[in-house]
Chains A and B, each alone.
Chain A
Amino acid sequence: MVMSNKYEVVIGLEVHVQLLTESKLFCGCSAEYGAEPNAHTCPVCLGLPGTLPVLNKEALRYALLAARAADCKINKFCKFDRKNYFYPDLPKGYQISQYDLPLGYDGRITIESETGTKDIGLTRIHLEEDAGKLVHQGTVGDSDHSYVDYNRGGVPLIEIVSEPDIRSPQEARAYLKALKQLILYLGISDCNMEEGSLRCDANVSLRPVGEEKFGTKTEVKNMNSFRAVERALAYEVERQREVLNSQGEVVQETRTWDEGKQKTLSMRGKEEAEDYRYFPEPDLMPLQISQDYIDEIDASLPELPLEKKERLQQEYDLPAYDAGVLTQDKEVAKLFEEAVGQDQDPKEVSNWLMGEYLRLIKEENIAPGTSELTGEKLASLLELIDSGTISSNIAKEVFAETFNSGKDPEEIVEERGLKQISDEDELGEIIAEIVADNPGAVEDIRNGKDKAIGFLVGQVMKKTKGKANPQLANQLIREEIAEE
């Protein structure tokens, strides 16, 4: 395809993130996920006649944390607006959102792409309430009735709108990954796409390379995983490319990603786009955000992923790759620093975390930081290896047990008798036996086939159930054969 390089891909993402506040945005109901339908509702979030919203200050603080972490400027005078539309999951017939004066604007998210790092601009971050959820009997089309669950109605969301700075589906995925990592570092959401606490819509268009004017865009919705985002965008880019290559015109419309068909399908055209009749929410006073409060937010920001990565690299002389893996999740970085703090070699600690730890995390399908392993326990395990008390292989066993039970490594070694046999007399006896039992191998060694030593060491390890000190065993075998 010679034509395929003619166009530049332009993508902008709109991401909704549910905030993990205890209560909803405008009432005292619990914002927790997963309760019985409509258990977390009250007259206010059900929009009963006469009720009024009252802003949850914690949600405002969370949203400000996100805005500042993403380098946004803050509108010190900002307000809420009503977005008007009819839908059964929207109890008041309008959503309380922010329109022309969002909380934060002009920010950025740094992503790592194949060509290094790149900043994706953020147009805005604003605070709004979530809608409820419809439960259809059967499919939407043939359902003869539907239920509405308002538990989610009124849960705080932030909407993060990127600039059209994303140039490929891979970059879109990298952007989402970086955004999620940032939010998780802040601890203000669990960013679970399957449960809907992170949702993503995309605007996609193509333009001839070198052209400044944007092409006609489509909006793609209903992508329920990072992978789906990447695939849907790849599909949509190719679809638009084909339309343009066959001299057609891209139609401005909203399209939905069909996971089963692996296609984007037209949902509604531009003409059917709703007029939301935004106007300032008269039930809430405009927000005045003081510089003092912004300073307080800034001071309370934790160390963010990129800062942490750079610091680990410099402070502990780690390779960039290691620092990147360790800071992927702040809990892993925390374990790293705890263990290193116990006077352990940083690279050694890094190897264990990147290897065994992340392997077990994946195997057990749990979140980093939720296993029983602590930095201190990891340090004491490394201590046991260093001192020659256990072999590296045995250490893996001990690690797994500590990971699962939280038991102290030393205790495990003691209880299960896993101490390395480093006693020359004890090991000597075993080796004498093995040498006697394997004349063929001994002959090979004598004939210069050094490989056979490995075989004999293996036999020693087998006999000692892995407890023999392998270096010592090697040395003693050579001595034994030389003596004969």
Chain B
Amino acid sequence: MNIYEMTLAQLIAAREEKELKPEEILAAFAERTAAVEDKVASFVDIIPDFASKEDQENGILQGIPVALKANMATRELTTSCASKMLAEYKTPYESTVASKIKKEGGAIVAKTNMDEFAMGSTTEHSALQTTKNPWNLNHVPGGSSGGAAAAVAAGEVPCALGSDTGGSIRQPASFCGVVGLKPTYGVVSRYGLVAFASSLDQIGPIARTVEDAALMLNIISGHDEKDSTSAAMEYPDYRQGLDKDLAGLTFGLPGSYLEMDIDEEVKSKVQKAVREIKEAGAEVKEIELPPVDLALAAYYIIATAEASSNLARYDGVRYGAREEAGNVMEMFAKTRSKNLGPEVKRRIMLGTYALSAGYQDELYKKALKVRTIIKDKYAQVFEEVDLILGPNSPTPAFKLGEDKNPLDVYYADIFTVPVNISGFPALSLPAGFTEQGLPLSVQLIGPAFGEVKLLQAARGLEKRLAVPTLATLDQGR
């Protein structure tokens, strides 16, 4: 087996057994990156010649290359958010997740492409480059963490960190056939994550296996004094339930989801998962979840409202792009007009509108009420079931360059956003491929801070589904 084909857990074991040296691991991934990056284009910034990166601490990630989405602050690499606004921008400080990875010896070797400021579902809204789906280079990797998912699926890094505001970890993980975990809001510090929608954003791992995701969650989770929304609690070992299998768990299945107009192959993978779960001796219960369009509407109001405020700081005064103009207000307008992309501007406008006097009660405040209702409803469901199983993305990966109506694209988030609205953890698990060879997935949702059980269930199902997670790239499937 090539080194780059090994999972994170295998790499760590081999290094601990002295079968592999840290520098050999780094060299293997550097070589793989050199071979495939031209095709996939996952990285918007990379440490040149990272095989010789020597400044690592002793720790569980020693010698392991890790890629971070381009919206997480690092001193060494640009934190561009794939925007012209911050194209060359480096922060003078390190995000909490970057510090934690470094403390465990991990080498942060690259920043991954994304939809500009994490707004989008294809990574085509990157102002910097177009990332391809490693399973089929004519398709998108999903988004907004498309570069992170593509890099992991292509074997450029064994794991990466993405951020998920409305599905931005789970949907690209689904499109690229890897595991993507959005932890409970508050489990991973947001300090250093460039904000899109602060009350929804959450960092999480993208990896090739459930175990690898658990491993990464162990490293990046924890209370952080620098993030007031970070959960102050005892953090468990997220690997503790991995070998427990499925027996004894109760899964809720939102039957109405499968009656919706979504891709048949997506439905069939959910049904397959249901069969596997039952075979393993676990229970599957029909449940009812709040209407998805309600959650979607609330999501797009809350997320854009917060974004309109969060992105106000890009005004050309202190950092990033600045356009010259006759006075300061013109400078603001010109800088923002020229350096923010159309999707970002669309959302800023939507959010500004939703918060405006005269519309705020009807839009923003109503959305907050809907949010509370959805949260309560999910909490009720979790009194009856351990986990919820359902579809993730309603379709497999789109074709690159497809002309899409923004509303249709927003609609693709229907199964992922309720989880951000409620704050609960959810995981995208590879479930097979379409006839054309594009990855498909199912989504598992857990109760608040129920990651241990969520990962246990995901591992149990992963074993039974046994889906390959590494795109070979040398032959079209």
By a beta-carbon cutoff of 8 Å, the part of chain A in contact with chain B is: 43, 46-55, 82, 84, 86, 88, 91-94, 146, 148, 275, 277-279, 282-285
Contact = CB atoms under 8 A, between A and B. Distances in A.
A92 B228 contact: no
Interface in B177-196: 190-195
B306 A49 contact: no
Nearest to A55: B228
Nearest to A84: B309
B91 A50 contact: yes
B312 interface: yes
B364 interface: yes
A50 B192 CA distance: 4
Contacts of B313: 47, 49, 91-93
Contacts of B227: 52, 54
B198 interface: yes
Contacts of B306: 279, 282
Interface string B358-378: 001000100000000000000
A83 to B, nearest CB: 10
A49 B228 contact: no
6 contacts: A49-B195, A54-B225, A92-B312, A277-B360, A279-B355, A284-B229
A279 B357 CA distance: 11
A50 B95 contact: yes
B273 interface: no
B356 A86 contact: no
Given A43-B91, A84-B355, A279 B364 contact: yes
Contact of B198 (A49, A54, A283): A283
A50 B191 contact: yes
Contact of A279 (B193, B309, B312): B309
Interface string B159-201: 0000000000000000000000000000000111111011100
A54 B199 CA distance: 15
Nearest to A46: B318
Contact of A50 (B72, B199, B328): B72
Contacts of A49: 73, 79, 81, 86, 89, 91, 194-195, 313, 319
A282 B305 CA distance: 11
Nearest to B368: A280
Contact of B356 (A46, A50, A92, A277): A277
B193 A50 contact: yes
Contacts of B318: 46-48, 91, 148
Nearest to B317: A88
B329 A86 contact: yes
Nearest to A279: B355
A282 B355 CA distance: 14
Contact of A93 (B89, B312, B319, B364): B312
A148 to B, nearest CB: 7
Contacts of B95: 50
A48 B91 contact: yes
Say whether chain A's binding surface is mostly helix, strand, loop, or mixed.
loop
Closest 4 CB pairs of A and B: A93-B312, A277-B355, A282-B198, A282-B199
Nearest to A85: B312
Contacts of B86: 49
Interface of B: 71-73, 79, 81, 86, 89, 91-93, 95, 190-195, 197-199, 225-229, 305-306, 308-309, 311-313, 315, 317-319, 328-329, 332, 352, 355-357, 360, 364
Given A277-B308, A282-B229, 18 more contacts: A47-B313, A48-B92, A48-B93, A49-B86, A49-B195, A50-B191, A50-B194, A54-B226, A54-B227, A84-B355, A88-B317, A91-B318, A92-B312, A146-B328, A277-B360, A279-B305, A282-B198, A283-B229
A370 to B, nearest CB: 38
Contacts of A46: 318
A52 B228 CA distance: 8
A52 B226 contact: yes
Contacts of A285: 228-229
Contacts of B329: 86
Contact of A84 (B79, B91, B194, B312): B312
Contacts of B91: 43, 48-50
B351 to A, nearest CB: 9
B228 A53 contact: yes
Nearest to A43: B93
Contacts of B81: 49
Contact of B312 (A43, A53, A94, A146): A94
Given A49-B79, A50-B192, A88-B317, A82 B226 contact: no
A277 B305 CA distance: 9
Contacts of A82: 309
Contacts of B305: 279
B309 A50 contact: no
A284 to B, nearest CB: 5
Nearest to A148: B317
A55 B228 CA distance: 8
A279 B328 CA distance: 26
Q: Identify the interface centre among B73, B190, B313: most chain A CB within 10 Å of its CB.
A: B313
A93 B198 contact: no
Contact of B319 (A48, A84, A92, A148): A48
A474 to B, nearest CB: 77
B170 to A, nearest CB: 21
Nearest to A87: B328
Contacts of B332: 86
Contacts of A54: 225-228
A279 B338 CA distance: 28
Nearest to B336: A86
Contact of A277 (B190, B315, B352): B352
A360 to B, nearest CB: 48
Contacts of B79: 49-50
A247 B79 CA distance: 62
Contacts of A50: 71-73, 79, 91, 95, 191-195
A283 B200 CA distance: 11
Contacts of A51: 93, 191-192
A262 B227 CA distance: 49
Contacts of A55: 228
A278 B360 CA distance: 9
Contacts of B355: 84, 277-279
Q: Identify the interface centre among A53, A283, A285: most chain B CB within 10 Å of its CB.
A: A283
Contacts of B317: 88, 91, 148
A268 B86 CA distance: 35
A194 B36 CA distance: 64
